Amino acid sequence: MTTPDSQTFNKDQSTQEQYFTPNLSGRYKWDTVFASFTWLAVGLSVVILAVLLISVVWDGFPRLASDFWGFLTNFPSRKPEQAGLLSALVGTVWVMITVAIFAFPIGVGAGVYLEEFATDNWFTKLIEVNINNLAGVPSIIYGLLGLQLFVRFLEPMTGGRSILSGALTLALLILPIIIVGTREALRAVPDSIRQAGFALGATRWQVIWDQVFPIAIPGILTGTILALSRAIGETAPLITIGALTFISFLPENLQSQFTVLPIQIYNWVSRPQAGFHTNAAAGIIILMVVLLAMNGLAIFLRNKFQKRG
C-alpha cells in the first residue's frame, strides 16, 4: 500500500494541521508486524498439535503394526513386547458405562429442574453459582473426595478401590458439564412450543416429556458425550482413589479392582525402559482414536441439531 503524505490533498484549511505528523508508513510497518505475530501464534498452535500427533504416531505405530491384536488382548507384562491393553480397555468400558448410568440421568434431571421447574429464588442461584465453581475445582480434588467418601466411608457398598468408586468419582466430576449442556439444549427450544403444549391442557411435565425432550435430546446427548470424553481421559482422580497400575485379570463386577487406559499409559510412560514408552505411545493412539470417534459423534449430532433449529 502506498502512503501519501499530508500534501496529497492540496486544500489545507486547518490551522492546526501543522501539529499533526501522522507518519503513516511507520504505523503501517507496525501493523504488518503485529498481524504477522498473531498469525505466527495461531500457526504455532497448529504446528504444536501436528508435532504432538506425529510424534505419538511415529513412536507408537510400529507397536500396533507388528502385533495389533496381541496389543489389545494381552494383559500387562514385565516384558514390553508382550504387554497389552486388555485389562485397561475392559476397565475403561466398565467404568465409562457405569459413569454414564449415574451421570446421565442425574445431570439431565438436574438440568431440567433448573431450567424448567425451578423458580428464580436464592436456592436456584446458589446451585448455579455452585455449579460454576465446581467446574473450576481441580480434578485431583474430586479424587480426594472419592477416596474418603466412596472408598472409605461407603466401602461396604462400593467394595473399596473398585470400579464403582472410580465411576462415581468421575460421575461427580462431569456432572456440571452435563447440567450446563442440558440447560443450553433446553434453552434452545423455542418457548412457543411450551406455550402450545400448555394451551392444550398438558401439565408442565407432560409438555417437557412430549414436546421439549424430542427437540432437545440431540443437544443433551452432544453435551453428555463431550462430558464422557472428558472422563475417559481423566487420570489423576482415579490414581487418587487407588486404581491399580498393574492388573492381570478382568473385572467380574462393579466391586472389582480395575485399571483404565490413561492409567496404563501413565504407568508405561513412567517406566524407564524404551519398550514401555513405545507401548505408551501405542496406547495413546488407541485412546485418541476413541476420543476422536466420540467427538466426531458429538459434532455430528450438533450439526444435525443445528440444522433443525
Using rule CB under 8 A, residue 196 touches another protein: no
* Kind plus residue range of the DSSP H or E element containing 206: helix 204-207
Least distance to another protein, CB of residue 53, Å: 9
d(CA 132, CA 118) in angstroms, rounded, equals: 17
Least distance to another protein, CB of residue 161, Å: 10
Residues 201-240, mask of contacts with another protein (x by CB under 8 A): x-xxxx----------------------xx-xxxxx--xx
> 134 or 188, CB closer to another protein?
134
Give the contacts of 3 (CB within 8 A, at least 6 positions apart). Answer: 24, 25, 28
> 204 or 253, CB closer to another protein?
204
- Name residue 193's amino acid: I
C-alpha cell belonging to residue 74: 494381552
Using rule CB under 8 A, residue 30 touches another protein: yes
Residue numbers 81-140 binding another protein by CB under 8 A: 105-107, 109-110, 112-114, 117-118, 126-127, 130-134, 136-140
Using rule CB under 8 A, residue 180 touches another protein: no
d(CA 131, CA 172) in angstroms, rounded, equals: 11
Residues 300-304: contacts with CB within 8 Å, 24+ apart? 301/218, 301/219, 301/221, 301/222, 301/225, 302/218, 302/219, 302/222, 304/218
> 22 or 309, CB closer to another protein?
22
Per CB under 8 A, the segment of 24-32, 62-70, 85-93, 301-309 that binds another protein is: 24-32
Using rule CB under 8 A, residue 309 touches another protein: no
Per CB under 8 A, the segment of 61-69, 187-195, 250-258, 280-288 that binds another protein is: 280-288
Question: Are the C-beta atoms of 234 and 296 separated by less than 8 Å?
Answer: no
Using rule CB under 8 A, residue 52 touches another protein: yes
Q: Of these, 277, 279, 282, 301, which contacts another protein (CB under 8 A)?
A: 277
Q: What's the gap between Cα 47 and its chain centre?
A: 22
d(CA 170, CA 228) in angstroms, rounded, equals: 9
Using rule CB under 8 A, residue 156 touches another protein: no
Q: Of these, 83, 96, 172, 247, which contacts another protein (CB under 8 A)?
A: 172
C-alpha cell belonging to residue 279: 507401548
